Structure 1
Amino acid sequence: MESKEVVKLLGFWVSQSSMRVEWALRLKGVEYEYIEEDIFNKSPLLLELNPVHKKVPVLIHGEKVILESFVILEYIDETWKQYPILPQDPYDRAMARFWAKFAEEKFLDNAFKAMCTQGVQKEGYLKQAKEYLEKIEEVLIKGKSKFFGGENIGYLDIVLGVISYWLPLWEVVGCMKIVDPIQFPSTTLWMENFRNHPVIKDKLPPRDKMVVYYQWRSKEIGARMASARKS
């Protein structure tokens, strides 16, 4: 039976993790109240609900509080059964979780660091990012379907959705190229399919505002990384 408890989401407008949760809720047709957080001036509510990590997203479902985007996605899928996100087969479900973790901790981490750095260090992160993307490309080729989840957007598509919109912007800000259409044709096609899905394209941050944000953020993080190397 579908839960009727009030759903609220604390997020940040440019947060990939927050956006994943919104995509999942929208795909399932779950009504929710969105509460915008300033992650640089955290509210008492955020600090109360997530005292350990002090981060968004935070999902509030009635009296329950759920943290961490991957955990929240699974909670949403198990709570609202319409439009299943995770694969039904245990092995396929395990593989979706594996590739989600791989993409987050390996590919996206290196792509983001490449945007923030220069010189030899940037080249190293770019090389790693492209090598990891080759693995993701292989998964898409094996599936030979519109999305990782088949003909419908699934868990892995939601996690990797960052690639379709955030990554091209990181490439612009970082003056770099990771997703070459010739080298990664399946990823390029998937990016277009995902970005143009009605639920997704109606819920994307404004690009111009994102460019300004990541130009500032990349300089700040780049300086911090450079300082850490010297110390």
Structure 2
Amino acid sequence: MAAADYGEVKFFGAGGSPFAARVQIALNLKEIQYQHFEENIFNKSELLLKYNPVHKKVPVLVHNEKPLAESLVILEYIDETWKNYPLLPQDSYQRASARFWSKFVDDKCLPALWKAAWTVDEKEREKAVEESIEALQFLENELNDKKFFGGETIGLVDIAANYIAFWLPVIQEVVGLKLLSSEKFPKLYVWGQEFINHPVVKENLPPKERLFGFFKARYESITASK
């Protein structure tokens, strides 16, 4: 069922951003018509700075000239405004739980994974690897035997965790880490494959080769400066 028309929607994103991809996936799952503005994060447009003067970054959603920033905030707004393909459960406890795990991904999981990949100091990296493994184990346990965190369909937590499904395996390959694997986290690994191969998700992810090249250049720059 296509989404109802609630006016003009603009989306400001950048192809390599997992946070922008969250919003784009949600918009397309709900079949919302929108105008897409592709931003260069190194040369931001005046429009982006106008609509997000606080953080000056993507993603930004502008609905009937009312701007919203921060991907999780935008996802909840989209879900409340367009009721088709719900991203959050109807049950109040399950809704609160989905919000908790989405915040867990942003506050605990992503910072640890980023540090584990890019921190130069060995002791700090070891600590970040430990924190990453602990965080991934929590997600593995929460997923349990469900196809998606949202059950049989993609929901808020799945979209929030898109970095783990797509970006993390690319970074692992570049830097020689092996945090997420079918041996260590079998359920989370299978979930990641299901998620990135969903037709809507797949068409809203950046080309893997381009992402690999970007992170390879970053890694070579970091290692050269050691």
Aligned partner letter, 1:114: A
- Mark the CA change 1:192 to 1:55 in structure 2 (over 3 Å): closer, same or farther: same
Q: In the alignment, does 2:126 pair up with 1:126?
A: no
Q: Distance in 2 between matches of 1:218 and 1:29?
A: 37
> Relative to 1, partners in 2 of residues 1:86 and 1:216: Cα closer, same or farther, differing over 3 Å?
same
Task: Say whether residues 1:65 and 2:67 are aligned partners.
Answer: yes
Please give the residue correspondences for 1:1-231 in structure 2 after superposition, counting only pairs within 5 Å.
Answer: 2-118=4-120, 119-141=122-144, 144-218=145-219
1:229 maps to: none
Deviates more, 1:73-82 or 1:121-130: 121-130
Cα separation, 2, equivalents of 1:123 and 1:49: 39
Give the superposition deviation at 1:147. Answer: 0.6
Query: Which residue type is aligned with residue 171 of structure 1?
Result: Q
| SS of residue matched to 2:78 | helix
State the one-letter code of the partner of 1:47: L
3-state secondary structure, aligned to 1:138: helix
TM-score by length of 1: 0.91
For 2:224 and 2:190, locate their aligned partners in 1 and report how far apart those are by CA, in whole Å: 35
Instruction: Provide structure 2 residue ranges, at least 5 long, that are not aligned to the other structure.
Output: none
1:5 touches 1:61 (CA, 8 Å); kept in 2?
yes
**Rounded Cα–Cα distance in structure 2 between residues aligned with 1:91 and 1:222:** 46
Question: 2-side partners of 1:218 and 1:112: how far apart?
Answer: 12
The Cα of 1:220 is off from its aligned counterpart by: 6.1
SS at match of 1:139: helix
Q: How many residues align?
A: 223
Of residues 145-154 and 179-188 in structure 1, the stretch that sits farther from structure 2 once superposed is: 179-188
Q: Among the aligned pairs, what percent are the same residue? A: 46
Q: Give the SS at the match of 1:114.
A: helix
The question of whether the paired residues in 2 share the 8 Å contact of 1:3 and 1:79 is answered with no
Q: Which ranges in structure 1 are unaligned for 5 or more consecutive residues?
A: 227-231
Give the TM-score of the pair, scaled to structure 2. Answer: 0.92
Q: CA deviation at 1:2?
A: 3.0
C-alpha distance in 2 between matches for 1:4 and 1:98 = 29
Residues 144-178 of structure 1 show CA distances to partners (whole Å, capped at 9, x for unaligned) of 22111110001111101221110101101221000
Report the aligned-residue RMSD: 1.9
